[in-house]
Copies of this chain bind each other. A is one copy, B any other.
Amino acid sequence: MRGRRGKGSEGFKVRTDLALESREAAQRGRRPDDGVAVREWREPGGCAMTEVRVKSERGARIMGKPVGTYLTMDLGRESGGDEGELLRAAEQLGQQIAGLAARVLGREESGFDGVHVLAVGLGNLYVTPDSLGPKVLGSLRISRNVADGEGGPIVSGIVPGVMAQTGMETAEILRGIIRETKPDLVVAVDALAARSVRRLGTTIQLTDTGIHPGSGVGNHRHGLTKKSLGIPVIALGVPTVVGAAAIAQDTVGAVAAALERGRKTRGVGAWLEQMGEEEQYQLIREVLEPELGQLYVTPPDIDETVKRLSFIISEGIHRAFYGIG
């Protein structure tokens, strides 16, 4: 309706917004990765962290992700949602945000006095798995309107809506607002697409590269980066969907593996697995037309996931910039 759905092919590429998964895919493909550095650790009493650094254009090509730092916080599969756990996660997230923000601003981490942060809630409030950004903004403490020039961070916020609602690219809206209000930093919150259903609602990704063109849920985002907006952009995201094409591709892989296990069918499995991308695309296309690649997969309790994660993220931002909960 109303032309909201794009051309069939644009959305096909089985994609992930998680650098961690891009890295895994690169490793599976045994592609050399000298442009990428990975570090893993666990915060004491906290969540497992992974930092993927894309260090060169060569690394960026391999990863399909721009040069920069991608931090992943793993909340664990059974992240239950008891409140103490949520607050601990918020605390840890807050530290990571503060560290990244200090780095991109070239400041000491110890405070953001006088720094003006524009928080942006990307996505569509009315589509549950795409509502993370607007939900976080709905809980965010805003201070620019009450700032008195006596210190403290200056936080403003906007929920720009999606293109089908506004007819405008988000970058257009933000460029205009930035020109008028002159923030120092954008913190953009968005729902992401993962490659694996195991990641849904269990991971927070934090990056200094902004929003990549084509990322996110629904009508794919245009880029929001330092280049397109003129100021640094930190992006915070949680995967809430997997593209339907990923399910189809995984099924092809599972069929290939099954054939490979069968004595008589062995060669066919290998054949299928090594089928070119174009041919796999033709296969999957038959399955997913007419909505090819635009359809997404999401769990039925996505409302609770979004609620829990938007709490962690809004409280994490509070801790990063205001210092307390």
Residues of A that sit less than 8 Å from B by CB: 1-5, 77, 79-84, 87, 124, 126-128, 130, 137-139, 141-146, 154-161, 163-168, 172-173, 175-181, 197-198, 200, 217-219, 242, 244, 247-248, 250-255, 257-259, 264-265, 268, 271-272, 279, 282-284, 286-288, 290-291, 294-305, 307-308, 315, 324-325
Contact = CB atoms under 8 A, between A and B. Distances in A.
Query: Which of A84, A142, A282, A296 is the most central at the interface, judged by chain B CB atoms within 10 Å of its CB?
Result: A142
A1 B83 CA distance: 13
Contacts of A164: 142, 145, 301, 304
B159 A159 contact: yes
Given A3-B146, A144-B168, A308-B1, A303 B127 contact: yes
13 contacts: A2-B142, A2-B304, A5-B301, A84-B325, A127-B300, A138-B165, A145-B166, A158-B173, A197-B288, A197-B290, A268-B268, A296-B299, A296-B300
A320 B236 CA distance: 35
A123 to B, nearest CB: 10
A2 B301 CA distance: 10
B217 A83 contact: no
Interface-centre pick from A2, A124, A139, A284 (highest chain B CB count, 10 A): A2
Which has the most chain B C-beta neighbours within 10 Å: A145, A217, A282, A308?
Answer: A145
Given A180-B176, A254-B286, A300-B296, A2 B268 contact: no
User: Which of A84, A242, A286, A315 has most chain B Cβ within 10 Å?
Assistant: A286
A294 B300 CA distance: 7
Contacts of A84: 325
Contact of A2 (B81, B166, B176, B297): B81
Nearest to A269: B268
A191 to B, nearest CB: 11
A180 B180 CA distance: 11
B180 A166 contact: no
Contacts of A248: 247-248, 250-251
Nearest to A324: B82
Contact of A297 (B166, B297, B301, B324): B297
A291 B295 contact: no
Closest 8 CB pairs of A and B: A176-B176, A144-B167, A218-B300, A3-B146, A156-B167, A251-B251, A176-B180, A126-B303
A287 B247 contact: yes
Given A179-B179, A295-B297, 8 more contacts: A2-B141, A2-B304, A172-B181, A176-B177, A197-B291, A247-B251, A252-B255, A255-B283
Contact of A303 (B124, B159, B181, B259): B124
Contacts of A284: 251, 254
Contact of A271 (B143, B178, B265): B265
A297 B296 contact: yes
A296 to B, nearest CB: 7
A88 B165 CA distance: 26
Contacts of A77: 290
A184 B166 CA distance: 16
